[in-house]
Copies of this chain bind each other. A is one copy, B any other.
């Protein structure tokens, strides 16, 4: 067991912060060392190389954004309505604490599609095989919405939940929002987004 401010942890925390903000190519190992308050040589002592350090950060990031909600999507005990509420709430909490996470992952995938999508297990299990997806398929049939491609629904849910965070700096500029305004705006969406999505499904 190590104390929670030891060198290894400090390096990873600094790396996460800088990789998330600047991406792999935009982050220099010297910047990570400076941010962590340690020597450049320590980075290679603990993590062998910039590439290996990046892989660790990327794996943790993928886990956080893709697998955090899997238990919600696959809870066979909960209804569609409950899953929608929970999903939006969980995501908004995650993104509030990791605002740079979505652009980081999407940017790295765009720059290097083969590496990222292959390395991580992005299979059809993530959406098509979830309990939520099966419930949605049954629901649209029951409600006479057969013409609706069900995939639009989770996409809308994720769109309206994630997009305000990726557009946050622009929102600040074009609407004069400050940090506190943004917090309130996003908090309103915890109830609004589920309401809108349920309306698309004729729930309630």
Contact = CB atoms under 8 A, between A and B. Distances in A.
Nearest to A118: B173
A193 to B, nearest CB: 8
B169 A158 contact: no
Interface string A165-199: 01101111111100000000100110010001001
Contact of A21 (B110, B124, B174, B200): B110
A69 interface: no
A64 B164 CA distance: 20
B113 A196 contact: no
Contact of A26 (B26, B106, B175): B26
A8 B172 CA distance: 36
B21 A111 contact: yes
Contacts of A189: 152
Interface residues of A, number: 51
Contact of A23 (B109, B111, B162, B174): B111
A100 B109 contact: no
A14 interface: no
Contacts of A159: 159-160, 162-164
Contact of A163 (B109, B113, B124, B162): B162
Given A24-B26, A122-B173, A158-B167, 13 more contacts: A21-B111, A26-B26, A109-B170, A113-B169, A124-B176, A126-B174, A127-B174, A128-B174, A149-B188, A152-B192, A159-B164, A163-B163, A199-B200
24 contacts: A22-B111, A23-B23, A23-B25, A25-B26, A103-B103, A106-B170, A109-B170, A113-B169, A117-B169, A117-B172, A123-B173, A124-B176, A128-B174, A128-B176, A152-B188, A152-B192, A155-B163, A155-B167, A158-B163, A159-B159, A159-B160, A159-B162, A163-B163, A196-B196
